Amino acid sequence: MGAGRTAGRGVPENFFVIGITTTVPVEVLFAAGRRPVDLNNIFVASPEAAAMVAFAERAGIPSSVCAWTRGLYGAVHHLGLKEVVGVVSGDCSHTLALCEILESEGVKIHRFVYPPSRRAGDLERELRRFAESLGTTLAAAEAVKPALDAIRSLAGELFRLADGGGVASGDLFAGLLNTSDFFGDPDKCRRKLEAILVKAKTSPETVRPSVRLVSAGVPAILSDLWDVFERLGARFVDHETPRQYALLHGIGRGLTETYLGYTYPYDVFSRIEDVRTMAGVRSAVGLVHYVQSFCHRLMHDRLWRERIHLPILTVEADRPGRVDERTSTRMEAFMERLSV
């Protein structure tokens, strides 16, 4: 899969590109002179996503490991990356093994841990260690943050506009998600967000009545999930996962406070509480919980159902692609239920 290395999101092809397996303190990477690329975004946005999964299977990654993990492995090779940051605590139970496999193939791995204790002192020590392992300092990373926060503020503006129903569900998801790696190029990320904001502010969609929904879970592997929901009359006024990735709560704050307030890598209960609060504030009438086949987080579905007192649709998918007929029928039935 050597061809088309810069396809899809237009990844900068130079020695300093570093892959990330999920949201990490990117300030450290920029301070260390790296250009982070979120492997998830590369994988799912690529027309070669299915080929990346197949490549991983041929390399011996079992098909009982979720397709996101196989896609991340494929994306590292697709881009020819020499350096990757793996979050080995707080994200995915597969990442440790994935890192070991990549390491055995000559990829330099930097491990990052969101401390299970969720104590400020533990996180600050980990941030300092992480910075030093990349040849920089925590102070240098803190100095990078205001410039990235200025771009996160654009994502914040998009999120505020979404409350009025004026942002297409897919644009809200993408606009927030893009700040997970800033495309490895903050200026490019700023331009993309500005374009989405212009579209949102000038869209006639703002006057369309719709069923207000929120989403939670792991990022959807389906390319048209939000568009299909919109065709059925829905509008998402919050997407928990990319909103958390965008770290809106941490704008203007220090790194430790910011990454401590980030709920995704810690216990599921604070995630549920965050979504419950946001669904209330945004007057949502239903929740879509996206789950990935073969993911350990599937077990949490029960807890979401017990603790969010709204109609919930759990959408599960396996491989990258479009919404299938069975899922589409379930989505229609859910929307009919909310519309009566």
Interface with ligand SF4 in residues 60-79 (CB under 6 A): 66, 68-69
Cβ neighbours for 164, distance < 8 A, ≥ 6 positions apart: 206
Q: How far apart are the first and last CA of the chain?
A: 49
Closer by beta carbon to ligand SF4, 107 or else 268: 268
CB of 312 to ligand SF4, least distance (A): 19
> Pattern 193-222, binding to ligand SF4, x per CB under 6 A?
-------------------------x----
CB of 161 to ligand SF4, least distance (A): 29
CB of 92 to ligand SF4, least distance (A): 3
Closer by beta carbon to ligand SF4, 68 or else 130: 68
Q: What is the phi/psi pair of residue 38, to 5°?
A: -75, 115
Closer by beta carbon to ligand SF4, 236 or else 290: 290
For the record, the structure tokens of 284 come out as 């949502």
Residues recorded for the chain: 340
CB of 251 to ligand SF4, least distance (A): 26
Residues 265, 241: contact at Cβ < 8 Å?
A: no
CB of 19 to ligand SF4, least distance (A): 14
Total binding residues for ligand SF4 by CB under 6 A? 10
Closer by beta carbon to ligand SF4, 90 or else 165: 90
CB of 319 to ligand SF4, least distance (A): 12
Distance CA 42, CA 12 (A): 12
Q: Cα 87 from chain centroid?
A: 13
Closer by beta carbon to ligand SF4, 5 or else 297: 297
C-alpha gyration radius of the chain: 19
Helix (H) or strand (E) segment spanning residue 88: strand 83-89
Residues 174, 195: contact at Cβ < 8 Å?
A: no
Closer by beta carbon to ligand SF4, 196 or else 272: 272
Reference 225, options 181, 167, 168, 182; nearest CA is: 168
Cβ neighbours for 257, distance < 8 A, ≥ 6 positions apart: 120, 250
Closer by beta carbon to ligand SF4, 107 or else 120: 107
CB of 294 to ligand SF4, least distance (A): 7
Inter-CA distances, 187 with 48, 247, 257, Å: 26, 18, 25
Interface with ligand SF4 in residues 77-136 (CB under 6 A): 92, 94
Interface with ligand SF4 in residues 277-306 (CB under 6 A): 292, 295-297
Residues 7, 48: contact at Cβ < 8 Å?
A: yes
Q: For residue 220, which amino acid is it?
A: A
42 binds ligand SF4 (CB under 6 A): no
CB of 271 to ligand SF4, least distance (A): 13
Closer by beta carbon to ligand SF4, 87 or else 234: 87
Footprint of ligand SF4 (CB under 6 A): 66, 68-69, 92, 94, 218, 292, 295-297
